[in-house]
Structure 1
Amino acid sequence: MKTRIVLCGAIITSGIATAVPASAATFSARETHSGLRVNRPDGTTVGRLATNGWFRRPGAPDLVYREGGVPIAGIWESAPDAAVVRSGTTEKAPIIGRIVPSWNDGELSLTIEPAGGVPVRTTVFERVPGGGAALDRDTSTRFALEGTYRATLHATGGADAGWLSVDVDPEGATRFSGDLPPAIPPALAAAAAAAVEDEVDFIYGNVIDVAPFRR
């Protein structure tokens, strides 16, 4: 998660409207300068995901999820093939789950692996409404990047398990919403959003119609 963008998120109950017509959202996120905030349905803050500072001791997590200012979970993004979420800020803390990204012709999908639960895998993130274009590393302009993208979650065997969408505004507030399985706890959901935001950052960092100093 680059310093240009820091996420803001919310875990919400069903019945909250989203930009994507779908089943009721259980997760939403909105970008702010102060970290990913996890909220109650009334909008009050439950927790926050933010970077773990510039100078970290060896083995410290890259991101920390806090509730009431108390560290609850750490996210290690340094692994080449996964982000590991633990129920604490040391490498000895129990694993909550993993976020495993993969790409097909530059198009991102995620596998969300809750510890002790059934993994779910997203499709690629396709633009909505209308489908077609996907969140793609070959995107070359800011205009082409902007918009709402949605991925469907599939459980083992292919059954639908929910959805996750991202509304990309490279110079504003990138937002997320989704209907995630109950087995995915807030810290793991936040890590999934952070993985998608990292992808948006990567694509935005390579567009040709925005000067480098404005990114």
Structure 2
Amino acid sequence: MKLIVATHNEGKLVEIRRILESGLGQDAARIELISAGSLHLPDPVETGVTFQENALLKARDVAERTGWPAIADDSGLIVDVMGNAPGILSARWAGHHGDDAANNALLLAQIADIPDDKRTARFRCAAALVVPEVPEVNELHPIVTDDQPGRRYAIVSETVKIGEMPGMIIREARGTNGFGYDPLFVPDDQPGRALTDGIDGRLTSAELTSAEKNAISHRGKALRAIVPAIERLVR
């Protein structure tokens, strides 16, 4: 079965593949993950006001265009003292989408006077699985693009799950393994090696290995929560 991932980021595709393989076990071999970017599908405009709405919007668009099941996720950082901001605006908090350095600098400036014990935060992720009409053959249907309009495939089911990773915002960035706000975020759940390797015994998300992060991350939790719905498609 082909499962389309609504992303143009091949790095995210690799991360999602690892998470799903750990949850699906032997069933993972029966699924071919394909990115929306490799199919040259356009990015839909994210008009939702929640992570759930945006994840469903992206997955629906891909499923309707391809006639194959699609998954999408939408995630961001929630800082309690900021009234749950940056939230869905996390990736463009400083005004330009994906400018991690500017986003981090602005966030630190905004909570500079907040005491360490009040800098609680969490990453939240919504993962969505949208299933269209069952394809008649084991091939991709003709794909609907903006410059090649055609039939859109009807949606028959939708599943959306939420995952969160609670933690704290520190005052200086640490680590190079992550992206976004990872260098500023210390998860509550820590790997065993943090007792000896971390500064003050605690590691940021950017100091975790991929396996350590996937085990506790908001995205990992949300994607593992939709595994049963994916399993029903391949069994």
Relative to its length, the structure with more strand (as a share) is 1
**Alignment TM-score, normalising by the size of structure 2:** 0.30
Relative to its length, the structure with more helix (as a share) is 2
